[in-house]
Amino acid sequence: MHDSGREEAADAAGETPGQPEAPGVLDDVGRAGRAFKQLFGAQLNLLVAELGLARSAISWMLLAGLAATVAGVGLGLSLMALAGVLLAKWLGSWAWALVVLALLQAVFLFAMILLFCRCMHWLSLPATRGEWRETMRQAMRKAERTEAASADADRAASREDGT
């Protein structure tokens, strides 16, 4: 019942049964790879969860914006109707009340068009163009610094892995 052939083959190969083989460089690299995969796998799972949450939040924000717009238009229409009723009672005629409301809306629309044109003019002023240009340059410099720092960190990490 005792197989002496197996023991002799194990002794010839330099192994003793029951004793684990000594860890080698490949085992260390394998363990490091598994740890790296586990660490960045967790980071990847976190990123996926955050992106899903952001996607959901954007959908809810769009829905809330749409609901706020609908409520704002409804409130505006209600206030215009109330103003129309009050004007009709005060002027004694629905026709005159509607004319006054139309004039008020035309004045408001004209004022908003003037404000829009003024804002466009402000954006076209030389100082504003210069500030805008400088803001864009700063953003580009910051992005380049971040990219360079990331590349330096990658190079340093690859040098450490190589030694």
The per-residue pLDDT for range 1-31, each reduced to its tens digit, is 555 555 555 555 455 555 555 567 778 888 8
Residue 162 placed within a domain: no
CB within 8 A of 85, min separation 6: which ones?
97
Tokens read off for 100: 């006054």
Question: For residue 63, what are the domain limits?
Answer: 26-123
- The answer to whether residue 68 scores a pLDDT higher than 60 is yes
Residue 81 domain flag: yes
DSSP designation for 163: -
Q: Half-sphere exposure of 101 toward its Cβ, with a 13 Å CA cutoff?
A: 19
Residue 138 lies in a domain: no
Residue found by looking up tokens 């949450």 in the block:
53
Distance (Å, whole) CA 77 – CA 71 = 10
**Number of domain units in the chain:** 1
- To the question of pTM greater than 0.75 for the whole model, the response is no
